[in-house]
Structure 1
Amino acid sequence: MNTPLPSTAGFGRSPRSADRDAFRAARRKAAARALLLALPLLVFLLVTFVAPIASLLGRSVQNHEVRAGMPQLSAALATWNGAGVPDEAVFAALAHDLKEAGENSQLGNIARRMNFYQPEFRSLFFKTARVARSQTPAQWKPALIDLDARWNESETWRLLKRASVSPTPDYLLNAVDARVGPDGSVVAVSADSAVYRAAFQRTVLISATVTVLCLLFGYPVAYLLATLPERQSNRLLLFVIVPFWTSLLVRTTAWYVLLQPSGVINSALLSLGLITHPLPLIFNRTGVLIGMTHVLLPYMILAIYSVMKNVPPVYMRAAKSLGAHPAVAFVRVYIPQTLPGVGAGCFLVFVLALGYYITPALLGGAGDEMISQLIASQTNERLNWGLAGALSCYLVLFTAIFYFIFNRLVGIDRLRFG
């Protein structure tokens, strides 16, 4: 007698499906626990790193000084067609807002913002504000034109209208030595006023030179560390790590002492009779390259060394056993396997060099000013945070472009340290 098999319809899911669901639930629980553990660090990075950078980059398009300090004038200029000189209502709004800005201690910020367009705007604004506080003429337009003929020029009002618009591309254009012309087209500034494009080229050139020097000096050292016995390698590796324990300012100041005309290097060369007069090693490009290469060399060594340690030596022995010359085996077998480390080291050194400030400021001369120094000057001396943000935007953009280039060349995103 055949006994019918019991039906499984009422028993729910199969054991395999239940195990799979339980595994997924466990993974979700583990991921949530890991996220909770990392949440304080993420919040800390967001508050102390991401938010300040985003705020600085956002200032590159913000233009609130004139718009917030002179609201009536901004509203009146929004309806002006840009032809000729505005009517009496715009002049009256200008006088009213200048008077209010002087009383609210905002006139300095507005004048400093307008000096971004023309240096003489500060004196014009303060002179006009004094008249606006002391006089109340029946017609402001003829009174202000009699006060200063620049109020009768359409270019003055065009610049005022540009300054009252936010967001604005003016900072981004100025950061590459360009501006918006009277006809609305983008034009380059005069050669006498062009500063930033040359500074960007100089920054990239110095960074690339330092990267090449670090590669030339760092690759042999990394190879030596990777091929020596572990005990000897660890001892030598200590000398590579020790500079990280010393302040960057101290290391740069040490080079300041060594490289000056009466410093240790020139004194030693003079005493040995190798030179007849001190070499110019400081306050020029040579001093900058020496100081930056010394500081950034450990990054290159460690990046390449971490990859070389994982290259099996059996490959080189196999190439030699097949008849390859040691030099040919090194070039065709060993070096290609270390390219990810070379790419990571070059990218790391290059990006760090792009933003260097202390070393070029102490060891460089007038012709070695890098973008980081110009950003510091705009924030600390000229208080032009908008232009500083624009320069920072281009610096971030350059970093992204060079990362893409390095990644396409050597695939640094596939690098595994260990």
Structure 2
Amino acid sequence: MADATADLAGASPAKLTTADGRPLKSALARAQAKARRRAFLLVLPLLLFIVLTFILPIGQMLHRSIFNDGFAANMPQLTQWFVDNPVGTEPDESAYAALAADLKSAAEAKTIGVVGTRVNYEMSGTRSLFTSTGRKAKNFEPPYMQAVLEADDKWADPQLWGTMRQVSDAYTANFFLAAVDLARDTEGKIVQAPEDRRVYVMLFERTFLIAGLITFLCLLLGFPIAHLLATLPLRYSNLLMILVLLPFWTSLLVRTTSWIVLLQGQGVVNNTLVATGILTDDTRIQMIYNQMGTIIAMTHILLPFMILPLYSVMRPIPPSYVRAARSLGASSWTAFRRIYLPQTLPGIGAGALLVFILGVGYYITPALVGGASGQLISNLIAFHMQDSLNWSLAAAIAAVLLAAVLVLYWLYDRLIGIDNLKLG
């Protein structure tokens, strides 16, 4: 027996074998590879789901934000003229001949509206110019410059030709410039957009300010609620937790419209204040269709997302820590500030990030209760997707919003550390 043990101890790993005679090292490698394949196959459905529903849509959005071939694909001859002639070249007979040919073919293919819309994104009022001239293009004869200008003398505008040169490139950064209230002039220089079109930066500022205020209010209201849930006995805290989770079982649309009933001028809140004598009929508070309505409704809707991370970190904190601090002479405030609060920071960070990011992307609630002053950047994205059909600009605004959120993640990681983030 001792000799067998000595032989086994003296054998090299390469000479050890399994019961069926295979080398132990290769058998272990094969078993580990099989375990890795099994683990990969288990997560493959989730991976495919994430790729199809998250990564690919974001990739398409980013591509759409810099790509729009509405002009280039339907005006190939004029696009080629722009390629062959440098910036500053005056449009000559060959340019107008290319324009006339492209207008005729686009009108026959019924894509002239697409061309006009693409130019209209950069220069308002030009879509009708393309569609009206496209209807006449089949009758154009040389000299084409004279024929096009007789159809409409607006074609002589240098700004129009400069705009068409810009949109002739399918790949452009102009949509990102528009998303931050910038534009290009006829020479291609970046300038500020006209004052009446500078709305995006203001909406970004409003969105982040309102989301930050909602996050603060949720923390202010959610912290004591989470503390109460964490310190009560389980039979009571579980009952109260049902009340916290109850809003998740109710439609978001129902909760939002309920606030309309409560906050409107003749609503429950104003009627109660009038009935108690706090207000009169002439001094009813306007709490709906403005920023106040957006803040109140979104604070109520997002409050559970703050309470749950806070509760998850408060529940495991032993009450004896605070009692020990009190027994050593610390006041209630000192024990809270130096003992209890630091242990809740991971939950505060998780809840704040969750509420803030949900807040900057909310759409339904601001659309229903926000009015003109309570609209957020998400409502403008929806407008460009559904009404103006400027998908490229909508994608660019969404990309800027995504970049801003990623910057917040980076700042949180640098200041607090993403490893300290706890959701449960």
Q: 2:79 maps to which residue?
A: 74
Sequence identity, in percent? 45
Q: Cα 1:160–1:314, aligned 2, differ >3 Å: closer, same or farther?
A: same
The residue correspondences of 1:370-385 to structure 2 (distance < 5 A) are: 370-385=376-391
40-49 or 261-270, which deviates more:
40-49
Change beyond 3 A, Cα 1:21–1:329: farther
Counterpart-to-counterpart distance in 1, 2:173 and 2:78: 21
Please, which of 207, 212, 217 is the counterpart of residue 211 of structure 2?
207
User: 2:422 & 2:400 partners in 1: Cα distance?
Assistant: 30
Distance in 1 between residues matched to 2:13 and 2:341, nearest whole Å:
59
- Residue 250 of structure 1 aligns with which residue? 254
Change (3 A) 1:7 1:327: closer
- Deviation of 1:408 after TM superposition, in Å, equals 2.9
In structure 1, the residue matched to 2:201 is: 197
Structure-2 residue corresponding to 1:13 = 14
Check the 8 A contact 1:137/1:143 in 2, yes or no: yes
**Bigger CA drift: 139-148 or 65-74?**
139-148
- Quick check: 2:214–2:295 contact (8 Å CA) kept in 1? yes
Per mean C-alpha deviation after superposition, the further-off stretch among 155-164 and 46-55 is 46-55
CA contact (8 A) 2:14 2:24 kept: no
- Aligned equivalents of 1:251, 1:412: Cα separation in 2: 33
**Is the CA contact 1:343–1:412 (under 8 Å) kept in the aligned structure 2?**
no
Specify which of 132, 137, 160 is matched with residue 132 of structure 1. 137
- C-alpha spacing 1:306/1:87, structure 2 compared with 1 (3 Å): same
What is aligned with 1:263? 267
Moved over 4 A (4+): 5-12, 14-25
* 1:168 equivalent in structure 2: 172
- Aligned equivalents of 2:183, 2:217: Cα separation in 1: 37
Equivalence for 2:185:
181
Contact 1:343 1:411 in 2 (8 A): no
The residue aligned with 1:30 is 35
- Give how far 1:157 is off: 1.3
1:367 aligned to which of 358, 364, 373? 373
Moved more, 199-208 or 82-91: 82-91
- TM alignment of 1:213-228, pairs within 5 A: 213-228=217-232
The answer to whether structure 1 residue 92 and structure 2 residue 110 are counterparts is: no
User: C-alpha deviations, 1:384-409, integer Å up to 9, x for none?
Assistant: 10000001101111110111222333
Report SS of the residue matched to 2:65: coil
What TM-score, normalized to structure 1?
Answer: 0.93
Which segment drifts farther, 99-108 or 138-147?
A: 138-147
The answer to whether residue 350 in structure 2 is matched with residue 344 in structure 1 is yes
What is aligned with 1:329?
A: 335
Q: Does the alignment pair 1:403 with 2:404?
A: no
Per-residue deviation at 1:82? 2.2
What amino acid does structure 1 have at the position aligned with 2:164? L
Paired AA for residue 315 in structure 2: K
Q: Offset at 1:312?
A: 2.5
Match of 2:288 in 1: 282
Alpha-carbon distance change, 27 to 311 in structure 1, aligned in 2, over 3 angstroms:
farther
**RMSD between aligned residues:** 2.3
Q: Do 1:283 and 1:364's aligned partners in 2 also have CA atoms closer than 8 Å?
A: yes
Contact 1:341 1:412 (C-alpha < 8 Å) held by counterparts? no
Quote how far apart the aligned CAs of 1:416 are.
Answer: 4.2
Q: Does 1:315 align with 2:321?
A: yes
Over residues 178-229 of structure 1, what are the superposed CA-to-partner deviations in whole Å (9 max), with x where a residue is unaligned?
0112332211112111110101001001100100000000011111111111
- Residue of structure 2 equivalent to 1:62: 67
Distance 1:97 1:408, change over 3 A: same
SS class of match (1:279): coil
Residues 103, 134 of structure 2: 8 Å contact kept? yes
How far 1:125 sits from its partner (Å)? Answer: 1.0
Whole-angstrom CA distance in 1 between matches of 2:189 and 2:144: 32
Q: Deviations over 1:144-186 (max 9, x none)?
A: 2333333223222111111110210011101111011233221
CA contact (8 A) 2:119 2:167 kept: yes
Residues 219-238 of structure 1 correspond to what in structure 2 (within 5 A)?
219-238=223-242
The answer as to whether partners of 1:84 and 1:154 remain within 8 angstroms in 2 is no
The answer to whether the 8 A contact 2:163-2:186 is kept is no
SS at match of 1:167: coil
Deviation, 1:415, is 3.0
Structure 1 residues without counterparts, runs of 5 or longer: none
User: What secondary structure does 1:187 align onto?
Assistant: strand
Matches within 5 A, 1:94-113: 94-113=99-118
CA deviations over 1:27-52 (Å, ceiling 9, x no partner): 43223212112212221222233222
Task: Give the drift of 1:132.
Answer: 1.1
Match of 1:49 among 40, 54, 70: 54
Say yes or no: does 1:387 pair with 2:388. Answer: no
Task: Report the TM-score when normalising by structure 2.
Answer: 0.92
Letter in 2 for 1:292: M
CA distance in 1, matches of 2:259, 2:292: 12
Distance 1:124 1:273 in 2: 61
Are 2:152 and 1:152 equivalent residues in the alignment? Answer: no
